[in-house]
Amino acid sequence: MTHINNMGTVAFASFFMIPIQFMNVCFVIPWKRMANFGNTNCLCRCIVKCSDCGLNCFEKICDYVNDCGLAYIAITGDNFCEGQWRGFMMNVRYMLEFQYSMRVIAIFGFSLKLIIVILNFGTFMFFANDII
């Protein structure tokens, strides 16, 4: 039964992202196109940059809160509001440990990507020498 509730919770969380995308389509994209026409208008460019920055910040905050809250909801099976709040509070309480683990994971992920790039380059050089 919790899987059905969690699917409704995911749909409910996705519903909160609709206004952000709506604002992006209705306001930011036309402003950017208007800014491209008038390169000399500083006020228009400033408004476009500020609205774009504010909308991106708001979108990143909502994504982060939704991800943390949905992860907590998936584990506990709480409803949306309670799960979002508890997931956020858990993140605040264990922020230092969470950031440390995220840094370790980022370093590990970058190392793996670098190894893959080096192996791909070595494979390319090996086959390139055979072709030439």
Q: Are residues 101 and 87 in the same domain?
A: no
Distance (Å, rounded) from C-alpha 46 to C-alpha 119? 45
Which tokens is 25 given?
Answer: 């389509």
Q: Are residues 81 and 129 in the same domain?
A: no
Taking the CA of residue 76 as centre, how many other CA atoms within 13 Å lie in the half-sphere pointing to its CB? 17
Domain that holds residue 108: 95-132
Q: Are residues 107 and 83 in the same domain?
A: no
Q: Are residues 65 and 8 in the same domain?
A: yes
Which whole number is the average pLDDT over 100-125? 88
Q: Are residues 82 and 125 in the same domain?
A: no
Q: Are residues 19 and 76 in the same domain?
A: yes
Q: Are residues 101 and 127 in the same domain?
A: yes
Q: How many domains does the structure of the chain reveal?
A: 2
Q: Are residues 41 and 31 in the same domain?
A: yes
Q: Are residues 85 and 111 in the same domain?
A: no
Which whole number is the average pLDDT over 22-30? 73
Handedness of CA 70, 76, 81, 85 (dihedral sign): negative
Q: Are residues 62 and 115 in the same domain?
A: no
> CA nearest 21: which of 49, 56, 47, 48?
56
Distance (Å, rounded) from C-alpha 83 to C-alpha 80? 5
Contacts of 71 (CB under 8 A, 6+ apart): 87
pLDDT band at 21 (very low <50, low <70, confident <90, very high): confident
Q: Are residues 111 and 125 in the same domain?
A: yes
Check: pTM over 0.75? Answer yes or no.
no
Distance (Å, rounded) from C-alpha 21 to C-alpha 39? 26
pLDDT of residue 40: 58
pLDDT tens track for 56-96: 888 888 777 777 777 777 788 777 778 878 888 887 888 77
Q: Are residues 59 and 100 in the same domain?
A: no
pLDDT at 7 over 70: no
